[in-house]
Amino acid sequence: MEKVIIIRYAEIHLKGKNRGYFERVFANNLEKALKGIRHEIHRTSGRYLVAAFDEERTYEIMGRVSKVFGVHSYSLGLLVASDEDSIFEAVKEVAPQSGTFKVETHRGDKHYPLTSMEISARIGGRLLDANAALKVDVHTPQHTVYIDVREGGKALVFGMFCNGVHGMPVSTAGRGLLLISGGIDSPVAGYMMAKRGMTVELLHFHSYPYTNEAAKEKVVTLAKIISDYTLVTRITTVSVTHIQEEIHKNCAAELNVTLLRRFMFRIAERVAAHVGAGCLVTGESLGQVASQTLEGLTSSNAVVSLPVLRPLIGFDKEDIVALAKKIGTFETSTLPYEDCCTVFLPDFPAIRPKLSFIEEEEKKLDVDALVEEALLTREIIRF
């Protein structure tokens, strides 16, 4: 009898001839997620087993598995020989001490001498004989004991299903560059894209000395939290201090943020080329702030040729907050270190800036030189 963690995968089964590729990436991601803990991963038809693991760290392993995209559900169970006595011994371990129960059997090995119904009935009967405090209820049981008879004379026995995060294995859907601030939205946007299988690289803009080191540290903390999901462990940072100063000095105050965002997108496109990303990802949500109006988004899009994905575009703030709480970034995001000092914020930012006006104002700056200069401040932090 061996303790195992049974992992079932989500959408991969929909894939036809590419299934093998998705399965290999998924297994690779599981390995990455469990790095540093003793374990083995075995593939059986339609599921993975984590075996020979450090039992003291069982719950840590389950916690990590719960964050791997592509996991539909997982269970802590026992792997035993498929003879009836061995299955019964395992069922005794898993079964409750009292209350109502039923046994549900799945029989993958069609050569097994008993049918699923027969196995359930016989094991259930023996369990009743062994423990008078148990009662059978096949309709609304308090507990269900699952038996999964596999090929090769093996069976899995477990007591519950835990929900996985679903989605597609990361790194099966290309590479994107997430513009991450210290706020609530962008980490959630990164999570959403990673959930669809994207490898999410990170880029953070700071404006020291107008923002402080704690703000940058906060972003690294956020990056670490989402790396449990995205499996990406590096972040690029670029200073936009001088750009902000130049905009502030030379251009119309109400376009401050709009112009800065255009610079950020230009720099992001360059960084994307460097990390091999084929799109930009932002946490923008329509109408949330002045720069996230249709006109604002249009003006940013106008300076790049890469597609810009905005997974949160139709989300309400409360939906984003709920997701941030679920993935564990909310508490860090709401720490009081601001990633954008209010020093440069105009009293009335333009809500519907006209592209012609923006371009006219931008002509007052040496855009290319400022972008090049900013790129010189690029740092890559690995964690």
- Please identify, among the stretches 21-29, 41-49, 151-159, 244-252, the one whose residues bind another protein according to the rule CB under 8 A: 244-252
- C-alpha span between 206 and 213 (Å, rounded): 9
> For residue 4, which of 99, 110, 86, 75 has the smallest C-alpha distance?
75
Q: Does 357 bind another protein (CB under 8 A)?
A: no
Residue closer to another protein, measured from CB, 84 or 245: 245
Q: 245 in helix, strand or coil?
A: helix
Of 344, 349, 377, 378, the one binding another protein by CB under 8 A: 344
Contacts of 85 (CB under 8 A, 6+ apart): none
- C-alpha span between 41 and 49 (Å, rounded): 6
- C-alpha span between 179 and 170 (Å, rounded): 18
Q: Which two tokens stand for residue 119?
A: 């196995």
Total residue length of the chain: 383
The residue with tokens 């972003």 is: 219
- Please identify, among the stretches 123-131, 190-198, 322-330, 339-347, the one whose residues bind another protein according to the rule CB under 8 A: 339-347
The answer to whether 129 and 122 have CB atoms below 8 angstroms apart is no
Q: Does 17 bind another protein (CB under 8 A)?
A: no
Of 343, 355, 369, 380, the one binding another protein by CB under 8 A: 343
- Please identify, among the stretches 26-34, 39-47, 228-236, 250-258, the one whose residues bind another protein according to the rule CB under 8 A: 250-258
Provide the 10 A C-beta neighbour count for residue 376.
Answer: 8
Provide the 10 A C-beta neighbour count for residue 91.
Answer: 25
Residue closer to another protein, measured from CB, 37 or 253: 253
- Alpha-carbon 30 to chain mean position: 13
Residue closer to another protein, measured from CB, 214 or 273: 214
Q: Does 36 bind another protein (CB under 8 A)?
A: no
Q: Does 113 bind another protein (CB under 8 A)?
A: no
Q: Does 337 bind another protein (CB under 8 A)?
A: yes
Q: Does 373 bind another protein (CB under 8 A)?
A: no
Residue closer to another protein, measured from CB, 209 or 314: 209
Of 245, 254, 295, 373, the one binding another protein by CB under 8 A: 245
Q: Does 347 bind another protein (CB under 8 A)?
A: no
Of 32, 43, 248, 325, the one binding another protein by CB under 8 A: 248
The residue with tokens 């799945």 is: 106
Residue closer to another protein, measured from CB, 173 or 367: 367
Q: Does 341 bind another protein (CB under 8 A)?
A: yes
Cis peptide bond prior to 353, omega within 30° of 0? no
Of 18, 163, 250, 298, the one binding another protein by CB under 8 A: 250
Residues between 183 and 222 that touch another protein (CB under 8 A)? 208-212
Q: Which two tokens stand for residue 261?
A: 């965002």
Q: Residues touching another protein: how many (CB under 8 A)?
A: 19
User: Residue 200: enclosing H or E segment and its boundaries?
Assistant: strand 199-206
Residue closer to another protein, measured from CB, 274 or 364: 364
- Please identify, among the stretches 36-44, 121-129, 138-146, 247-255, the one whose residues bind another protein according to the rule CB under 8 A: 247-255
Q: Does 365 bind another protein (CB under 8 A)?
A: no
- C-alpha span between 235 and 177 (Å, rounded): 10
- C-alpha span between 200 and 192 (Å, rounded): 10
Q: Which residues bind another protein (CB under 8 A)?
A: 208-212, 245, 248-253, 336-338, 341-344
